[in-house]
Chains A and B, each alone.
Chain A
Amino acid sequence: MTEISEGNVLLKMTGITKIFPGVTALKNVDFEVKYGEVHALVGENGAGKSTLIKILSGLYRPDGGEMLFEGKKVFFSDTRQAQLCKIAVIYQEFNLIPDLSVAENIFVGREPKTLGRLFINWRKLNAEARKILDRLDINLNPRKFVSDLSVAERQMAEIAKALSLDARLIIMDEPTATLTEKEVVKLFEIINELKKQQVSIIYISHRLEEAFKLSERITVLRDGEKIGTKNTSQTNQDEIVSMMVGKVVKDYFAGEKISEGKKEALLEVKNYTIANHVYDINFKLYKGEILGFAGVLGSGIHHMLRSIYGAAPRTKGEIFFNDKKVLIKNTNDAIKLGIGFVTEDRKGEGILYDMSVMQNLTIVVIKALTFLKGMFVKSAKEKKVFAQASKDLDIKFADLNQRIIFLSGGNQQKVIIGRTLISNCKVLILLEPTRGIDVGAKAEIHRIMRELANKGISIILSSSELAELVNLTDRCLVLYKGKMVAEFNRQNMDEEALVAAQIGQKINQT
C-alpha cells in the first residue's frame, strides 16, 4: 500500500456516538477505511461493532460525529441512501429472494429488457451475471435458484450482487461463521480478488486468525469505545486478544466453589446429535454447579440446549436424570422433571407481552394454584406465590397487574427466571441471561445465579460474554462447529484461553 494521505481514504468516521436509553453503545469512535483495504473490526459481543455497522448502513442514525465518504460529508437517514453511496452490507440473514435465480437476484429491479422493454432479456441477464461472477472467479450457475444454494453459495451471490451495484465498500459481518473450511478458502480468494479491484472491505469476525490472514489493519472496540487500530503486520494475536479483553470488571459474586469430593451427577447427556447442528456431545452436570458453555456463532450450543429442554427435535442421544434414563418429548416433560429454561430471545419467546407481571410469572405453575379440581385459579394463592418470588428475586414493579412490557429488561429477565424457579426446578438452563440489560441488573442476575447454585440448583450457562463465564462458572465446555473442543475448570480457565478455544484454535490443556 502507498503512504497514508487524505487522498486514499474512502471512509472516515470521526467522533461517532450512539446512545440508547440507558446505554451508550458508541462513545466518540473514530474509524477509517482506505481504498482497496481490508479492515478488520474485532471486539467481544456488546463491544459496539454491530452498532457501528448499522450506522454505516443507514439503519441507525448517530447521535454525534460525522462521516466522510470519498471525501464528501454524508448522512444516511435510511438504508437506501447508504446503497446510493455504494456501501453494501452482507448480513448474516441474507437479503436474497429464495424463489428467484442467482442472476435475477443480482439484477432484481434492474433487469435488462428486450422486445420494446417488455420482457426480460434472459440471455443478457445471465451473461451479465456470469461476467460479474467471473470477475470474482466464482463458479456458480447464474440460472440456479437461490433456494437450492448452500449457505456459502448464497454468500457469494450476495457479494456478486453488491459488486453489480458497483459497491465501493462491502461490510461482511461474520461471513465465515457457517462455512466449511473449503468454503472459507474460496471466500478468502474472492476477498483478495475484490481487494485487487480497489473495493474496500470491513471484515467482522470472531475468528482472529482470519483477521490476520486477510486484513491490512485491525481496529479493536470494547464497551463502545475504540481501543486502537493496529497495522496487522505489526501486531500479533496475543496483543489483540488482550486489547479485546481489557481489565476485568469486578462486579461478580463469584462465591465459593463446590468441593471436588461430593460430586453428584444430576444430569448426564450422552452422544447427543442434532443433524446439521451438533455431533456426539457428552457431558455431565453436577449438583450445585454452574456449568458454562462457550462458542461463537455456528457452535450449535443453543440448538442443543433447546433440544435438551424438549423445545427442538434431536437426531439421537440419551439424557439421564439422577442416573435414570429419561425421555423428554416436549417442554412439559422437561418442566415435570425439574428442568427450567431461560431463552436468549427475551422479546421473541420469553415474555408474554399482553399479560400482567404476575401472570407472566405464574404461567408455568398456574395449574397447581387452583381449587375445584383445577377448574379455577385461586387468586389469593397466586398472589402469595408471586409475592414470595418477587421478593426473592427483588423484582421491581408498580402493580402486579401491570403489563410486563412496561418493566425494564432486567426486571423482565428476573420474571422469566422466576417462572422457572417457582416450578421447583433443579436444573436451570440460561441462554445469554444478561444480554441487553444494564450493568446493575446484570450484577444482580449474577448474584442470583450464585445463590441458586449454593442452594443446590445446577445451572447451565451459555454466554457469549467470556468474562461472565470466567467469573461465574465452575467448569466451562467449548463447542466449535457442533463439536466439543475443550473443557476448562476453575484452575485453567481464563478469557484468552476461551477466546482461542471457541474460535477453533488448538490449545494444550494442562
Chain B
Amino acid sequence: MVKFLKLYEKIGIFILIVFAGIFLAIASPNFLKTDTILNIITQGTYGVIVGFGMVLAITSGGFDLSVDAVVGLTSVFLSLLIPNIGIPSAIILSILISCFVGFLNGLIITKFGVNPLITTLSMATIIRGASLLIAKGRQIPISVEKFTVIGTGKLMGVPNPIWIMLVLFILFFLLLNQTPYGRHICAIGSNESAARVSGLNVTFVKIMVYVLVSFTASINGVIRTSQAMIGIPSMAPGFTLLVITITILGGTSLSGGKGNLIGAVFAGIFISMIYYGLNLIGVQYFYQLLSVGLVLLFALFVDGLRKRYLEAAKIKGIKV
C-alpha cells in the first residue's frame, strides 16, 4: 500500500489523463482528431502558464491570489498603450507594470511580514479597482489587427499559445532545477530557517518569486487580450482557483520545497479535457467552475487520506 501511494504521488495525474482520454474517445468521435487535441491543449495553456509562476510561489512556501487581477491589469494597459506606442513596446511596458505589482506583493510579504494570502488577496482587490479606474469601467477595443497574431496565430500548424507555453516551460524548468536561484527557492520552502542560517538572501529570493508569478500572469493577459482584441479590466474571474488547482493537482506540495512543473502541464491538460467533456454534454460555464472546485477538493481529499494512512503506518512500525 505504501508503495502504491508513493507511485500514485508520482504518476497519479497521468492515470487521470488516460482515464479521461479513454472516456472522451468513447463518448465523442471527434476527440481523437489533431485539431481537437490541439484545441484542448491550447485551452489548457492559460492555466498552465500562470501555473508555472504559482509552482514557484508554492514551492517557496508562499501563495498568490492576485493573478486574475494582474491578468485584467495587463489587458487594460495593452488596450490603452497599443494605439499609442506600438505593439512591442506596449507588451513590454504592460508586463513590466505587472511585474511591479509582484514586486509590491513580495515587498509587503517579506518586509512587513504580512501573511502572503492576506497580502495577495488585498492586492487583488486593489489591482482590480485600479484596473477599473484606469479603464473608467469600460471595455476598450483594440483595432490594431496585427496584435491578434500572438493569441490566434499558428507556427508549423501549432497554435502560438502552445509555443509560448513550451518556451516558458523550458525557461522555468531550467530556472527551478538548474540554477542556484531555483534551488534556493526550494531551500526556502523546505526549511526557511536553515536556508537563512546557510546565508541565503531570503528576502531577495521571495520578492523575485512574486515578480515571476505576476510575470506569468501578465503573459497570460497578453494572450487573452490578443484573442479577444479588447481590454477587459475584470478579464479572468475565477482564474486564480484554476491556477491553484492545476498547481496542486500537478503534484506541487502545499508545504513547500517541492515544485512539479511537468505535473502542472498535465494537470492543465486534464482540466481542459474535463471542460471539453462538459461542453459535449452542453452544460454552462457554472458547471466548469463547479468541476474545478470539485477537482481541487477531490485532490485535497485524496492527499489528506494518503497522509493519514502514512501516519498510521508509521505508528505500526512500517517503514515509510
In the complex, the answer to whether A97 meets B187 with C-beta atoms within 8 Å is yes
B26 within 8 A of A: no
A276 to chain B: closest residue by CB: B317
Contact between A118 and B184, CB atoms less than 8 A apart:
no
Q: Does B230 contact A (CB under 8 A)?
A: no
Determine whether A120 belongs to the interface, using a CB cutoff of 8 Å to chain B. Answer: yes
Instruction: Kindly provide the distance from the CB of A481 to the nearest chain B CB, expressed in whole angstroms.
Output: 16
A80 cross-chain contacts in B, Cβ below 8 A = 199
A100 to B199: give the CA distance in the assembly, Å.
15
B251 at the interface (CB under 8 A from A): no
Per a CB cutoff under 8 Å, which of B180, B195, B258, B315 touches A315? B315
The 6 closest A-B pairs by CB, nearest first: A275-B317, A99-B257, A99-B190, A313-B315, A95-B194, A97-B187
A/B interface sample: 11 pairs, CB < 8 A: A98-B190, A98-B191, A100-B183, A104-B183, A109-B198, A111-B180, A119-B179, A120-B179, A275-B314, A275-B315, A276-B317
Q: Which residue of A lies closest to B182 (CB)?
A: A120
* Max chain B Cβ within 10 angstroms of own Cβ: one of A97, A274, A313: A97
A119–B182 CA distance with the chains assembled, in angstroms = 10
Other than the given A111-B180, A120-B178, 4 more pairs (CB < 8 A) read: A96-B191, A98-B190, A120-B180, A313-B315
- A97-B191, A97-B194 are contacts. A109–B316 as well, Cβ < 8 Å? no
A119 touches B190 (CB 8 A): no
Contact B187 A99 (CB under 8 A): yes
Does A95 lie within 8 Å of B189, measured CB to CB?
no
Q: A98-B191, A275-B316, A276-B317 are in contact. Are A109 and B199 (CB under 8 A)?
A: yes
Question: Pick the contact of A120 from B183, B187, B190 — CB < 8 Å?
Answer: B183
Q: Among residues 273 to 320 in chain B, which have CB atoms less than 8 Å away from a CB atom of chain A?
A: 314-317
> Mostly helix, strand, loop or mixed at chain B's interface?
helix
A113 within 8 A of B: yes
B200 to A: closest C-beta gap in Å: 5
Does B186 belong to the interface (CB within 8 Å)?
yes
Q: Please indicate the chain B residues that have their CB under 8 angstroms from the CB of A118 in the complex.
A: 179
B32 within 8 A of A: no
A contact residues around B92 at 8 Å (CB): none
A79 at the interface (CB under 8 A from B): yes
- Asked if A108 is at the interface (CB within 8 A of a chain B CB), the reply is yes
Most buried by A among B180, B190, B191: B180
Q: Mark A99-118, 1 if CB is under 8 A from B, else 0.
A: 11000100011010100001
- Please tell me if the beta carbons of A108 and B187 are within 8 angstroms of each other in the complex: yes
CA distance A119 to B170 in the complex (A): 13
Q: What is the interface of chain A, defined by CB distance below 8 A to chain B?
A: 79-80, 83, 94-100, 104, 108-109, 111, 113, 118-120, 122, 274-276, 313-315
Name the residue on A nearest B253 (C-beta): A99
Contact status B191-A315, CB under 8 Å: no
Number of A-B contacts (CB under 8 A): 67
> Does B174 belong to the interface (CB within 8 Å)?
yes
Chain B contact residues (Cβ within 8 angstroms of A): what range? Answer: 20 to 34
Knowing A99-B190, A120-B179 are in contact, say whether A109-B197 is a contact too (CB < 8 A): no
The reply to whether B315 and A108 contact each other, CB–CB distance below 8 Å, is: no
Partner of A99, one of B186, B198, B315: B186
For residue B60, give the distance in angstroms from its CB to the closest CB of chain A.
11
Expressed in whole angstroms, the Cα–Cα distance for A458 and B167 within the complex equals: 70
Q: Which of A79, A95, A99, A315 contacts B317 (CB 8 A)?
A: A315
Q: Given known contacts A97-B190, A275-B314, is B179 in contact with A109 (CB within 8 Å)? A: no
CA distance A295 to B257 in the complex (A): 36
Q: Which residue of A lies closest to B312 (CB)?
A: A313
Which among A79, A122, A275 has the highest number of chain B CB atoms within 10 Å? A275
B179, A315: Cβ atoms closer than 8 Å: no
Residues from chain B with a CB closer than 8 A to the CB of A274 are 315
> Closest Cβ of chain A: how far from B10's Cβ, in Å?
14
Minimum Cβ distance to chain A for residue B197 (Å): 5
CB distance from A76 to the nearest CB of B (A): 14
Q: Complex formed: what's the CA distance from A94 to B184 in Å?
A: 18
Question: What B residues does A83 contact at CB under 8 A?
Answer: 199
Q: How far is the CB of A416 from the nearest CB of chain B, in Å?
A: 27
The chain B residue with its CB closest to the CB of A101 is B183
List of B residues within 8 angstroms of A120 by Cβ = 178-180, 183
Given the complex of chains A and B, what is the CA–CA distance between A98 and B199 in angstroms? 16
| Inter-subunit contact B195/A108 (CB<8 Å) | yes
Interface residues of B in 20-63 (CB under 8 A from A): none
| A470–chain B nearest beta-carbon distance, Å | 35
Choose among A79, A97, A100, A119 the residue that contacts B178 (Cβ–Cβ < 8 A): A119
Cα of A94 to Cα of B190 in the assembled complex, Å = 13
Establish whether residues A79 and B199, one from each chain, have CB atoms under 8 Å apart when the complex forms.
no
**Residues in A whose Cβ lies below 8 Å from that of B315:** 274-275, 313-315
Nearest residue in A to B189 (C-beta to C-beta)? A99
| Shortest distance between the CB of B77 and any CB in chain A (Å) | 30
List A contacts of B174 (CB < 8 A): 119
Partner of A95, one of B178, B197, B200: B197
Evaluate contact between B180 and A113: CB separation under 8 angstroms: yes
Q: Which residue of A lies closest to B190 (CB)?
A: A99
In the complex, how many angstroms separate the beta carbon of B214 from the nearest chain A beta carbon? 22
Measured CB to CB, the nearest residue on chain A to B201 is A109
Report whether B317 and A109 are in contact in the complex, using a CB–CB cutoff of 8 Å. Answer: no
Closest to A110 in B: B199
A83 smallest CB distance to B (angstroms): 8
CA distance A95 to B195 in the complex (A): 8
B194's nearest neighbour on chain A, judged by CB, is: A95
Asked if A95 and B180 sit within 8 Å, CB to CB, the answer is no
- Decide: B194 and A96 in contact? CB cutoff 8 A: yes
CA A111 to CA B187, docked complex, whole Å: 13
Tell me, rounded to whole Å, the shortest Cβ–Cβ distance linking A293 to chain B. 22
| Chain B residues within 8 Å of A122, by CB | 178
Query: What residues of B have a CB within 8 angstroms of the CB of A275 in the complex?
Result: 314-317
Nearest CB in chain A to that of B199: its residue: A109
Cα of A110 to Cα of B174 in the assembled complex, Å = 18
Cα–Cα, bound, A83→B187 (Å): 20
Please determine whether A111 and B317 come into contact, CB atoms closer than 8 angstroms.
no
Expressed in whole angstroms, the Cα–Cα distance for A120 and B179 within the complex equals 5
CB-CB nearest in chain B for A307: B315
- Residues of B within 8 Å of A108, CB to CB, are 183-184, 187, 195, 198, 200
Q: In the bound complex, what is the Cα–Cα distance between A105 and B25 (angstroms)?
A: 47
A contact residues around B194 at 8 Å (CB): 94-97
Cα distance A178–B186 in the bound complex, in angstroms: 28
A95–B193 Cα distance when bound, in Å, is 8
Given the known interface contacts A119-B178, A274-B315, A275-B316, the answer about A95 and B198 at a Cβ–Cβ threshold of 8 Å is yes
Please indicate the chain B residues that have their CB under 8 angstroms from the CB of A96 in the complex: 191, 194
Residues from chain A with Cβ under 8 Å of B200 in the complex? 108-109
